[in-house]
Amino acid sequence: MHPLLDGKCLIAFDLDGTLIDSVPDLTVAVARALVDQGLSMPTTDDVRDWVGNGAAVLVERALTWAQGAPPEAMLFDRAYAAFLHHYAAAPNQLTSLYPGVRAALSGLRDAGFTLMLITNKPERFITPILDHFDLRGCFKLCLGGDSLAEKKPSPLPLLHAAQVGGVAPGVCVMVGDSRHDIAAGKAAGFVTLALPYGYNHGEPIGDSEPDAVIASLAELMA
């Protein structure tokens, strides 16, 4: 077991860039949404840097990139609706689990940890994706970016998770790939563990000063 899990009982996991490599499917949905508006298509590398603040900000960043200026409200509304439509049609076509995820989640659950999922993704996409990978049963609670009044980097969803788990923030851990996970974790009083392989706007996750950077989820059980 990783030493920072000592004495802890609740672990909150981020989804995109932490458990799943979702950028290929996000790219297809964003590209289709932009083409629907007569705009040009981004690449996977473009989209990777736009992920992390939820779907609305993703679409806003994509439109700003395509037009060279922030979108007007009507264009945004059309493109956002198109993105939701296209992503809902194929959230799992090209998405894969990162190495070590399945074994770590089942191992930690069997070791007695309460596992929760806190993503900035819209809540409606959580169940289809977790069901696809047969992971829904690992989590006691799953929160999306629109489940509560605030999303990460706000500590609100993490504090809510601790409350639902009936434990103090000091015995909770946040595991994530982006500065928003680490900022939320620090503000909530959680221990923070970071993965370097995900999506962090092109910055090294160590810059956010998590309590530790681990190479993969396998290190949680090692």
Ligand X SMILES: O=C(O)COP(=O)(O)O
Binding-site residues for Mg(2+), please?
A: 14, 16, 177
Task: List the catalytic residue out of 6, 14, 110, 181.
Answer: 14
| Residue 158 · residue 170 · CB < 8 Å | no
Applying CB under 6 A, which of residues 10, 11, 12, 52 lies at the interface with ligand X? 52
Q: Residues 151-180 vs ligand X: string with x where CB under 6 A?
A: ---------------------------x--
| 192 touching ligand X, by CB under 6 A | no
54 binds, among ligand X, Mg ion, none (CB under 5 to 8 A by kind): ligand X
Binding segment (CB under 6 A) for ligand X, from list 29-37, 52-60, 157-165, 210-218: 52-60
| Residue 86 · residue 33 · CB < 8 Å | yes
Enter the DSSP assignment of 222. -
Angle at 4 between CA 133 and CA 107, to 5 degrees: 30
Residue 54 gets the label, from left (phi > 0), alpha (psi -120 to 50) or beta, of left
Applying CB under 6 A, which of residues 8, 14, 29, 126 lies at the interface with ligand X? 14
- Classify strands 96-97 and 212-213 as parallel, antiparallel or unpaired: unpaired
- Return residues touching Mg ion (CB under 5 A): 14, 16-17, 177-178
